[in-house]
Structure 1
């Protein structure tokens, strides 16, 4: 229609030749506006096509992938513009698309849901709640009751200041004051507990004894890492310290793996060179993880070194 409206036969051109350009323009514009899930403006789409062409030309001329600065210089654009347009050129896909053609499984099965907590976070939250509940009992009865009601530590629904004030017969402001006072005491108790744990670890390290927990009790490890890393099992220390196998081969739980990975312990060698005191200072790395690491490392040693020599 546009070609018919604009066509002027007095110019001496054929209508078919004239209309072809309008048809091509309409097709390009339709592709630009309809082919992407997220619409890109026509002017930006034209620049994206120019960037693609310039990239291919520079790659052929330079023998390598051109940088954004080189593409920008070629097209007389800013580096920021080129970077933004290349970001807009990414292909979108559906979460229901198969990961690989001809095979089962879609992207929604492997992409994590950021709105839900991971098992590790759930475990950490449960441990923190358990730890707080153990310290709440050291507060005064009225403070315990208010914290239990406000935060649902007793298993019930957390209540508002108004609901708590009606339940205990105090004003909302007084409930708020008692709550802040109880939280401060709770924070001090947590800090004291951490200091006691660090002091116990320091003393255990200096004395060369088995490590103790926050309550001062000795942790009975079946196979201390120091023993596994020595010559008492009939193999050289260098064998284990030079083992580059990832710690995932030890068969550890996800909680232990994540705790160790956060401290850049990724191989068996990294783990073997750490002592007991260091491991027990890792956050959320409790006695169960401590014991699991030792048992798994001992089993790995038996499997990889002792049995092979036999």
Structure 2
């Protein structure tokens, strides 16, 4: 029920049953603002206002907040027209030439138009033709399997017959595929905004269509288009899951991420506010920890080599702090302290300096034991202990102590 700028509806529990007597009023303006922010409509409207038009492919490329709403592009196109902005249809055969665009956008649009023009010239099939082509295709498959059996192909005449049937089966398969390419395009458009362009989606859908031809059984009485639709959707779902992201997600995780986004959007409509993590997790029947894992997995990956700023000379990686990198100030202070300590040790006798460096690992190695140092200098460990004691006493002398104490204060 709509009235007074609010959408009134019954709030649903996680089990799908209505709670009697409880009604939530959702601000339509707040809801529309939230949807625009999530889908990037503001940027589209701004770009369209500046140049006076919006390409239909740009509308399809928008991120659909519900992920599978088929009427989403049409709703956006209607709002664009209501704002006085022209919508240029660059996705159909009879689309008018679009205004000048950048080289990248223009080449993509031309490729889509050429492809649609090509498949639009292919005649559609009747139900009887589909059955006939399916029979010829399966006959060709059987003939190809027989041709590799030398016992069955005993004469040249049989071999030629099998080759003719195989070739006819290949032609039948090609005819079934090309006659249904428009079906692939119509289904592929519903998957726009998920990381792949229309042409990439069409390629994935075509693979599903060819798989549908291989599996189609005309004896079941179904139309081929009805049967092939399932295979096309399956190929598109897997294609977007496997290729739309820089870091691939398993298909089941990709589907769960889509469910999380859909649940968040639906709860936003019901509650009139951003749902809490607990509410989203309850509606999906998962734990809050699992919800956070899915959100982390669904984050978009951004390249550190992506340029930022107007000049384009700075990359994102140059602006991101590395928490594991050492502190430059601490490194500089440590290096200065090391040099100062070495300068102090230079004032000692060579044996005294050597014993101290080995005993405390000042030369970059591991600290040595008294016995190891004694073996190196040919004296007892007790003598090394005495030398160490005398050296430390020298360093405590005011002439050296002040310099070393200042280093400790700086650190």
Q: Could you state the TM-score of these two structures normalised by the residue count of structure 2? A: 0.37
Is the strand fraction higher in 1 or 2? 2
Q: Which has the larger radius of gyration?
A: 2
